[in-house]
Amino acid sequence: MAENTGIRITDLRKQYGSGESVVEALKGVDLQVVPGEVVGLIGPSGSGKSTLLKCLGAVIEPTSGQMALRSELIYDGSWLVSDLRALRRDKIGFVFQAPYLIPFLDVIDNIALVPMLAGVSNTESRNRAMELLEALDVGHRAKAFPSQLSGGEQQRVSIARALVNRPPVVLADEPTAPLDSERALSVIRMLNQMAVQYQAAVIVVTHDEKIIPTFKRIYRIRDGRTVEEAGEGRLC
């Protein structure tokens, strides 16, 4: 396998609609995240953060530009990957604002489901899930249902779900929004720890003032373009 270079996005553009009503959501985004790194993506409402995440998450198609994951070019004016569903399943982990766990599966199976979808055996899937749950300090809740967990515990389970297939890329959309500042910081700490451990490139979209100082590097997006900034990198 080629050298893992994490995420590399070059001159990515995305237009919604056409003709009169065209919206240029992304107007040439350049962005790079190396494995093991967590970067913040911040910007005012309507600046294109979710659009960027959706393009990178292979759920909407960009208009032009290039995207590479782990030095494999996946988009270059058009998709270079035929099975986007498998791409999402194997290469990308998602963490959402709300945990969106499957309510009728217990915690361990919420996570184990993901490798199972990729054809991994039930036992192996549950072993991997348990390993992650313990690393994220929720191993003792493995047999509970999501509704029986606290908000912070649920979010940790959803991080475990994002990481269980060892994806080279993790995309997090406002993952700390519903959490208080201590829990928010602990979630970010865990994302950092996991990024290092699994050599994942992590992008965290956030408005959250509490966690902005934790990033070493920040991409500020304004008007569809990204500007790279140095962050404070204070992860206490």
Partner 1 sequence: MINLAWRDIRHAWSKFLFTGAGLGLLIGATMTMAGVYRGMVDDAKVLLDNSGSDLWVVQQGTLGPYAEPSSLYDDTWRSIRTVPGVERAANATYLTMQVRKGNADVRAMVVGTSTVSYGDPGQPGYLVAGRQITRGHYEAVADMATRFSLGDSIQIRRKQYTVVGLTRRMVSSSGDPMVFIPLKDAQEAQFLKDNDAILQQRRRTALNPAFNPPGQPKLLDAVISSQSTNPYVNAVLVQLKPGQNHGKVADEIKRWKHLQVYTRAEMEQILIGKLIATSARQIGMFMVILMVVSAAIVAFIIYTLTMGKIREIAVLKLIGTRNKTIVAMILQQALGLGLIGFIAGKLVATLWAPIFPKYVLLEPGDALRGLLAVIVICSLSSVIAIRAALKVDPAEAIGG
Q: Which residues are at the interface with Mg ion (CB under 5 A)?
A: 50
Residues 177-236 that bind partner 1 (CB under 8 A): none
| 12 scored as a contact of ligand ATP (CB under 6 A) | no
CB closer to ligand ATP, 10 vs 97: 97
Residues 27-86 that bind ligand ATP (CB under 6 A): 43, 45-51
Task: Please list the alpha-helical segments (H only) found in the chain.
Answer: 49-56, 84-91, 107-117, 122-135, 151-163, 181-198
| 86 scored as a contact of partner 1 (CB under 8 A) | yes
By CB neighbour count within 10 A (0-12 exposed, 13-18 middle, 19+ buried), where does 116 fall? Answer: middle
| 105 scored as a contact of partner 1 (CB under 8 A) | yes
23, interface contact from Mg ion, ligand ATP, partner 1, none, CB < 5-8 Å by kind: ligand ATP
Do the beta carbons of residue 199 and residue 218 sit within 8 Å? Answer: no
Return residues touching partner 1 (CB under 8 A): 50, 53-54, 57, 59-60, 85-86, 88-90, 94, 96-97, 100, 102-105, 109, 112-114, 116-118, 122, 145, 161, 173
